[in-house]
Amino acid sequence: MSVILDIADAVVASLNAGSFALEFEAERKYQPVFELQDMQTLHVSVVPKSLAITTAARDSGFFDCAIDIGVQKKVNADESAELDALMSLIEQIADHLRMKRLDDAPNAAWLSIANEPVFAPEHLEQWRQFTSVLTVTYRVRR
């Protein structure tokens, strides 16, 4: 399998083995598209985002693999406690992955995490759906 898919699968395994305030089952997806009626359930989707390869030495390269982690759920937009819990989950996921190696991909070194968008206001307004995306980047030398 490809390097980026191996890392995405390792992120899924790490998230599913973790302990979080809200329960979920992370899944690797190519397109995290769901029917609106299915959004009553919390969805955590792991999507390979980008791969950058740079020279490490004459005979090896750094593979920087960016993985998106999408958190989506239909919410009552007027219920701030529910939104606060989802925002807290995003931070818990970031803390779970930050500065740690993945058990299923021990050669991948954690590089960074970005949270953009922190939440998508247009999803909240149009569909009453919370959507947030974490991008975590790992480096593999090969």
Structure confidence at residue 106 (pLDDT)? 95
Helix 3-17 and helix 80-97: axis angle, to 10°? 120
For the chain, residues with pLDDT lower than 70 are: none
Give the model confidence (pLDDT) of 27-40 as tens digits: 999 999 898 889 99
Q: How far apart are CA 58 and CA 76, in angstroms?
A: 55
Delineate the domains of the chain, giving CATH numbers in brackets: 3-141 (3.30.2000.10)
